[in-house]
Every structure is written in structure tokens, then in C-alpha cells.
Amino acid sequence: MLLVLMGCSFNSPSGTVSDNDTDANVSIFKDVEPDWIEHHYLSDNMDRGNHDYYDQVLVIDPSLEPSSYIRGDIVFFSNSTNDKMISRIIALPGEKISISEGQIYINNQKLDTFYGKAHRLGLDKDSYFPAMDKAGVDYDKKGMLDYVFEFNQNELVLADNEYYVVSDDWFRGTKQILKQDEIIGEVLGYQYGYNN
């Protein structure tokens, strides 16, 4: 009987998926391996309040096998207009992903990590609006609620060759499915000395 209860608890929507391995800090490289890609990145879609990755020379490893990508990895890819972009892997092949009021769920379990919930410039809903109001910034509060902090997405089931990626700054970035062959490489960090 105890095993049945534990099994029910494991599959419960109240469970969580965590990521204790992904570091929120960006790695900086002084030396770049010859087979790594360097790319000057000018989008602020990954900004968590420190202009993360913006106006930096990214260091990208193109040699990883697609099966080695894990949740939390930042990947480099071409978008629909052939611009080079980066976003974070949120859901893995075969997983189910949904978003309810800005909270990401993987296989009906809450994604409990620094990138599992909507934020703008590194601020959650309870911090963002008071900060903007205090600074006297003119912004579209309803738009921020609808597109970021209270964003909803019906459940998607990923195919065996698909990842779901989300930019760290939900307002400035993307939420989309990427096929394995669309990923150019993993972003390891950025190069020391360019904009440091």
C-alpha cells in the first residue's frame, strides 16, 4: 500500500522538476578552443538584470551530440529570419510542457529553478511593477501581464527530436520548439576582454 501512495505522489501535479546543476552566472573565457565558434551577440533576450550576454562575443561549442543537451543549457540557433539567436532549453525530447500564469510545468510538474517562472530584467511580478512605478517608467502593464507574468500556454508534447526553448527575458525573447538539427551549438559563456 505504501508503494502505491508513493507512486501516486511521484506523478502528482503538485510535484516539482528541479535543476540544481545550472548556474545562473555566465562563464567568461580567456582562451577559446580552435573548434569553438565566436559570435558577437547584440540581443538582450537573455537579460536577467545584468545585461547578460548582450554585446558580448559568445563562446559556442558546436561539437556536442544533440542527445547530450540538458535542461538549462543555452543553445545557439538560427531563427525563422535566419538571425542567430540564443535561448535556454526548458523541456527535453518526449516531455510535455505547459505554462500557467507565467509558471512553467514539465510533465505536469512545476519547474522549480531560477528560469522556471516569468521574469523581466531579472524581476518577478511582485518586484517588477513597483520598480517600474517607482522609477516613473511608462509601460504597458496589461501587455506585461498578458505576455509575461500571466502568460498561459496549452500543453505541448515534444517529439523525440524537439526541445522547447525560452529566453531568460520573456518580454524581449522567444518561447518556441527547436528541432535538434536547428541547434548549432551550446553557449558556454562569453569571451573575456571584449566588453568586460
pLDDT of 169-183, one tens digit each? 998 888 999 999 999
pTM score, two decimals?
A: 0.87
- 95, amino acid identity: E
Q: What's the pLDDT at 20?
A: 87
- The string of pLDDT tens digits covering residues 14-53 is 689 999 889 889 999 999 999 999 999 999 999 988 888 9
Nearest CA to 109 out of 90, 122, 125, 124 is that of 90
Cβ–Cβ < 8 Å for 117, 170: no
**Res 128: pLDDT:** 93
**Structural domains in the chain plus CATH codes:** 27-191 (2.10.109.10)
Q: Cell numbers of 61, please? A: 561549442
Q: What is the pLDDT at residue 152?
A: 96
**What residue ranges of the chain have pLDDT lower than 70?**
1-14, 194-196
- The pLDDT, as a whole number, for residue 117 is 94
Q: Measure CA of the first residue to CA of the last residue in the chain; give whole Å.
A: 59
Burial of 7 (0-12, 13-18, 19+ CB in 10 A): exposed
What's residue 196's pLDDT? 56
- pLDDT at 193 (0 to 100): 75
Q: Which pLDDT does position 26 carry in this prediction?
A: 92
pLDDT at 9: 31
54, 44, 46: which is closest to 24 by C-alpha? 46
Strand order in the sheet with 103-106: 16-18, 109-112, 103-106, 96-100, 153-157
pLDDT given for residue 8 in this prediction? 31
Nearest in space to 159 (alpha carbons), one of 104, 97, 102? 97
